């Protein structure tokens, strides 16, 4: 799934960092990655990591109301439909998936058990059968204990056609081949109560049996679809507005497009929760303000907004006011899992030297400038984002960020390739494309620009026989391992007629073979394998020009304590946040 962060921009706002979260960030010296915390993430089965309660935060105080100001309401809070990062962090206050990410703001990211006692047992050591044991003492908001059957029901209902917006990894793994819900359509309308391969031997155990090995299961189990939904409380489509709480908070009131207010779930026991400190008494999410207004309010830090934060990036117009004293220390910034690349349609641009020439030619700095500053994000040289587990920076071409004319000319050897550059019609995307056209024309290419309406942009470039040569595309991983980047985007065997994710249409047997080999590695060794493959693809095929790693640039008020960027979600984490007295 591509659109993980979705920023719905209002009508008046400088529209358009839309579609797939491209976040501006101010000057970051290119290449210097001291800000980019290299993923040290891994799956932890250590008892100390998996045990509740969460480690107290130094200086934190309990109580108060935390406000989260958002430009637009969440599209979905129903765990089966929750596939956007802000929704997942908000949903994490209400319900607990089997697994979760334990973070402390230092860049250390651990996948541990959330509802489960640990990140899942690979029963036979072949990644096909996964067993999770639920913690004792986890209760819903009405005091009833959480049962593994509720987790199974949550998984089952995520197959329903009208609850189809969520991630479908586990669903697809249970029913491989064809659409995830081609066979099983959920428990409603007389469907089986649970899908094939899901069993609950007792109230605390749930077991998944996949036809094929899936060593990523612990990560997939951290997605919201594994949160428990008791069948008796399943209000189907209406569940979106009032999920039944198994987390530290419950819905006090929810007025669509206006506000969502969370209050404490009195039956939540901190001793059962290794992730959440749940310091504030109330969490209030308000919707409908423009991005710029939110940023201005947080910059101003008025009394009413001091205990507020936003997951919406500071827009370029407000950036200059965030560097002063009293504001700069309230900025939370860092890389996200998103990497933007200039995809080269390798079916049309078959000449490797042209693709390599493009890698020397592209002015990455110019692309970032459009997004508000010298470096709105960081120039990229790899396929995976620095937030990926096992990330090792490399640069095959070592070109300056503004491009290398001599090298480009050398590789083009007197040719002047004519290329069609497709771009989304969004204002900023158009500006980026224009900058790219100028840059590439100057570098010795003939560029024809083709605007595409934003809503059908990915549909258009996702058509195998699309008539375009170049297009800027963004990809964010669903969990911080290479397995959600390299296989979906660079495996030529996945290419279909429409709806492709492999947008360079790279179809190399050697890549496919390597993907299969890495997948078969023990989970612990996969990270290095994906990283090596990342480099190999760039060295041998150069199917894309990595452009920039997207960055987050968020603000919080002066009374918000322990606000740090979650590497798992790319936004401020709420788990250990507190309101200063």
Partner 1 sequence: MLRFVVRRLLVAALTLVVISLVTFGLFFAVPSSPAKVMCGKNCTAEDIAQVERRLGIDQPLPRQYADFVGGVFAGRTYGEGDFRQDCPAPCLGYSFRNNQPVTEIVAQRAPVTFSIVLGGAVLWLGLGISLGMVSALRRGTAFDRAAIGVTLAGASMQVYFFGLILLYLLVYSTGLLPFPSYTPLTESPARWAAGLLLPWMTLGFLNSALYARLSRAQMLETLSEDFIRTARAKGLPARQVHTRHALRAAITPIVTIAGLDIGTSLGGTFITETIFGLQGLGKATVEAVQFLNLPVVMATVLLAAVFIVVANIVVDVLYAVIDPRVRLG
Q: Which residues bind partner 1 (CB under 8 A)?
A: 10-12, 161-162, 164-165, 168, 179, 188-189, 236-238, 240-241, 255-258, 286-290, 293, 296-297, 299-300, 302-305
Q: Taking the complex as a whole, how short is the minimal distance between the CB of residue 305 and partner 1, in angstroms?
A: 7
Q: Taking the complex as a whole, how short is the minimal distance between the CB of residue 304 and partner 1, in angstroms?
A: 5
CA-wise closest residue to 368 among 432, 323, 320, 421: 432
Q: Taking the complex as a whole, how short is the minimal distance between the CB of residue 243 and partner 1, in angstroms?
A: 13
User: Residue 74 or residue 553: which is nearer to partner 1 going by CB?
Assistant: 74
In sequence order, the 6+-apart residues with CB closer than 8 A to the CB of 525 are: none
Q: Taking the complex as a whole, how short is the minimal distance between the CB of residue 547 and partner 1, in angstroms?
A: 25
Q: Which residues pair with 421 in a beta bridge?
A: 449, 470
User: Residue 59 or residue 326: which is nearer to partner 1 going by CB?
Assistant: 326
Answer yes or no: are the C-beta atoms of 73 and 202 closer than 8 Å.
no
What Cα–Cα distance (Å) separates residue 134 from each residue in 44, 145, 151, 221, 274? 16, 11, 10, 13, 13
User: Residue 118 or residue 286: which is nearer to partner 1 going by CB?
Assistant: 286
User: Residue 237 or residue 448: which is nearer to partner 1 going by CB?
Assistant: 237
Edge-to-edge, what's the strand order for the sheet holding 42-43? 42-43, 109-113, 99-103
Please give the sequence-ordered ranges of beta strands (E in DSSP) within 372-514, or none if there are none: 378-379, 418-424, 446-452, 470-476
Please give the sequence-ordered ranges of beta strands (E in DSSP) within 87-141, or none if there are none: 99-103, 109-113, 121-122, 129-133
User: Residue 132 or residue 180: which is nearer to partner 1 going by CB?
Assistant: 180
Q: Taking the complex as a whole, how short is the minimal distance between the CB of residue 247 and partner 1, in angstroms?
A: 21
Q: Taking the complex as a whole, how short is the minimal distance between the CB of residue 379 and partner 1, in angstroms?
A: 31
User: Residue 179 or residue 271: which is nearer to partner 1 going by CB?
Assistant: 179
User: Residue 226 or residue 286: which is nearer to partner 1 going by CB?
Assistant: 286
User: Residue 103 or residue 165: which is nearer to partner 1 going by CB?
Assistant: 165
Provide the 3-class DSSP secondary structure of residue 157: helix
Task: Determine the longest span between alpha carbons in the chain, in angstroms.
Answer: 75
In sequence order, the 6+-apart residues with CB closer than 8 A to the CB of 244 are: 95, 140, 141, 229, 230, 233
Answer yes or no: are the C-beta atoms of 421 and 448 closer than 8 Å.
yes
Q: Taking the complex as a whole, how short is the minimal distance between the CB of residue 320 and partner 1, in angstroms?
A: 14
Q: Taking the complex as a whole, how short is the minimal distance between the CB of residue 405 and partner 1, in angstroms?
A: 42
């Amino acid at each position: 799934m591509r659109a993980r962060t979705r920023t719905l921009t209002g009508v008046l706002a400088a529209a358009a960092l839309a579609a797939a979260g491209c976040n501006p960030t101010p000057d970051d010296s290119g290449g210097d990655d001291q800000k980019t915390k290299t993923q040290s993430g891994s799956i932890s089965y250590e008892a100390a990591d998996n045990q509740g309660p969460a480690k107290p935060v130094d200086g934190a105080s309990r109580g108060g109301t935390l406000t989260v100001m958002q430009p637009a309401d969440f599209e979905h809070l129903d765990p089966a439909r929750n596939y956007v990062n802000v929704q997942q962090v908000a949903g994490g206050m209400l319900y607990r998936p089997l697994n979760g990410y334990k973070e402390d703001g230092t860049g250390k990211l651990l996948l541990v058990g959330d509802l489960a006692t640990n990140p899942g047992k690979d029963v036979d050591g072949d990644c096909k059968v996964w067993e999770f044991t639920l913690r004792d003492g986890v209760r819903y908001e009405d005091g009833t204990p959480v049962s593994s059957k509720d987790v199974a029901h949550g998984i089952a209902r995520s197959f329903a056609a009208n609850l189809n917006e969520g991630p479908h990894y586990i669903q697809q793994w249970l029913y491989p081949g064809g659409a995830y819900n081609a066979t099983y359509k959920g428990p409603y309308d007389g469907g089986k109560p649970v899908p094939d391969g899901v069993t609950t031997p007792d109230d605390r155990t749930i077991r998944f049996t996949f036809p094929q090995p899936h060593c990523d299961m612990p990560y997939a189990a951290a997605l919201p679809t594994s949160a428990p939904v008791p069948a008796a409380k399943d209000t189907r489509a209406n569940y979106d507005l009032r999920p039944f709480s198994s987390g530290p908070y419950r819905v006090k009131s929810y007025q669509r497009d206006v506000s969502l207010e969370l209050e404490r779930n009195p039956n939540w026991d901190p001793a059962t929760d290794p992730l959440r400190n749940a310091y504030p008494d109330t969490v209030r999410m308000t919707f409908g303000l423009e991005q710029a207004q939110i940023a201005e309010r947080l910059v101003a830090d008025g009394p009413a907004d001091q205990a507020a934060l936003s997951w919406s990036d500071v827009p370029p117009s407000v950036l200059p006011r965030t560097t002063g004293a009293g504001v700069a220390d309230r900025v939370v910034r860092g890389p996200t899992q998103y990497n933007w690349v200039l995809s080269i349609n390798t079916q049309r641009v078959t000449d490797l030297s042209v693709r390599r020439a493009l890698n020397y030619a592209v002015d990455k700095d110019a692309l970032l400038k459009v997004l508000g500053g010298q470096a709105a994000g960081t120039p990229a040289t790899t396929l995976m984002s620095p937030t990926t587990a096992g990330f090792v920076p490399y640069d095959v071409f070592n070109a300056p960020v503004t491009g290398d004319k001599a090298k480009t000319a050398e590789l083009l050897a007197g040719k002047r390739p004519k290329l069609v550059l497709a771009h989304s019609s969004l204002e900023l995307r158009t500006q980026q494309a224009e900058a790219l056209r100028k840059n590439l024309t100057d570098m010795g290419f003939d560029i024809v620009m083709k605007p595409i309406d934003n809503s059908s942009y990915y549909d258009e470039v996702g058509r195998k026989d699309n008539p375009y040569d170049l297009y800027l595309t963004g990809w964010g991983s669903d969990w911080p391992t290479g397995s959600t980047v390299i296989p979906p985007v660079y495996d030529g065997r996945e290419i279909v007629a429409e709806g492709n994710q492999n947008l360079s249409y790279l179809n190399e047997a050697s890549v496919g073979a390597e993907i299969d080999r890495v997948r078969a590695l023990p989970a612990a060794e996969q990270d290095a394998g994906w990283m090596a493959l990342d480099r190999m693809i760039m060295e041998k095929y150069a199917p894309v020009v990595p452009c920039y790693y997207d960055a987050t640039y968020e603000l919080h008020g002066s009374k918000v304590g322990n606000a740090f960027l979650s590497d798992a979600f790319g936004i401020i984490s709420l788990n250990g946040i507190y309101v200063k007295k």
